[in-house]
Chains A and B, each alone.
Chain A
Amino acid sequence: QKEVEQDPGPLSVPEGAIVSLNCTYSNSAFQYFMWYRQYSRKGPELLMYTYSSGNKEDGRFTAQVDKSSKYISLFIRDSQPSDSATYLCAFSSGNTGKLIFGQGTTLQVKP
């Protein structure tokens, strides 16, 4: 069993749609839960992070963590063409730089 499972997509939605991206994990030691966004031919950039179960909101983005089910989600409201990118979930068992990434979900938002 992989430590992290992420549906690779691709996912294609119309502009304005609500997008749901998900990851499951198996390592109970994971304490930090992150979402990175990676545009084509660019490095990943940190979008959101949390270290507790529940929801965290930042503008159009909401990160959700359910530790009991070992499941995290990223919701994007009112999606825009500029949101078209690959979204990577990432985990850390301590606040170190050793991150375990999912394989990424490629999202396309069509105007």
Chain B
Amino acid sequence: EAEVAQSPRYKITEKSQAVAFWCDPISGHATLYWYRQILGQGPELLVQFQDESVVDDSQLPKDRFSAERLKGVDSTLKIQPAELGDSAMYLCASSPRQGAVGNSPLHFGNGTRLTVT
């Protein structure tokens, strides 16, 4: 079964450094999401792409976070500078089209665990 690929699996960085995460969605999936999951909490949506366009980045802290999906396939999420409170699991998900259920459920990757020291 096709999977959403994310790298790296783990990342440790010092505060004020830059860090980047990469996501390769399931082939053919037009919609891509980045969620952040703080330990002991549920995931929260940071940004949603439809093809290469951002459709929702209302929860993205734009002073330090940026996300791109230049060719409408893979995506990069960047944090600069990292802060201690950014320590979390960063999850990428994809779906065939905008949707959450039915024939377009979200498929999540296994995430990147970020620790900021």
Contacts and interface: CB of A to CB of B under 8 A. Distances in A.
A105 to B, nearest CB: 10
Interface stretch (A11-19, A43-51, A64-72, A77-85): A43-51
Interface in B1-32: 4, 31
Contacts of A44: 43, 91, 108
B40 A8 contact: yes
A41 interface: yes
Contact of A103 (B41, B105, B108, B113): B41
A88 interface: yes
A99 B91 contact: no
Contact of B48 (A41, A51, A97, A104): A97
Interface string B67-103: 0000000000000000000000001010100111110
Nearest to A33: B101
B114 interface: no
Given A97-B93, A102-B42, A42 B100 contact: no
A89 to B, nearest CB: 8
Given A43-B108, A43-B110, A97-B95, A49 B101 contact: yes
Contacts of B33: 97
Nearest to B109: A43
A97 B96 CA distance: 11
A101 B43 contact: yes
B12 to A, nearest CB: 16
Given A43-B111, A97-B93, A34 B43 contact: no
A61 interface: no
Nearest to B95: A97
A51 B45 contact: no
A43 B45 CA distance: 14
Nearest to B42: A101
A101 to B, nearest CB: 3
A95 interface: yes
A51 B4 CA distance: 26
A51 to B, nearest CB: 7
Contacts of A97: 31, 33, 45, 48, 93, 95, 98-100, 106
A35 B68 CA distance: 29
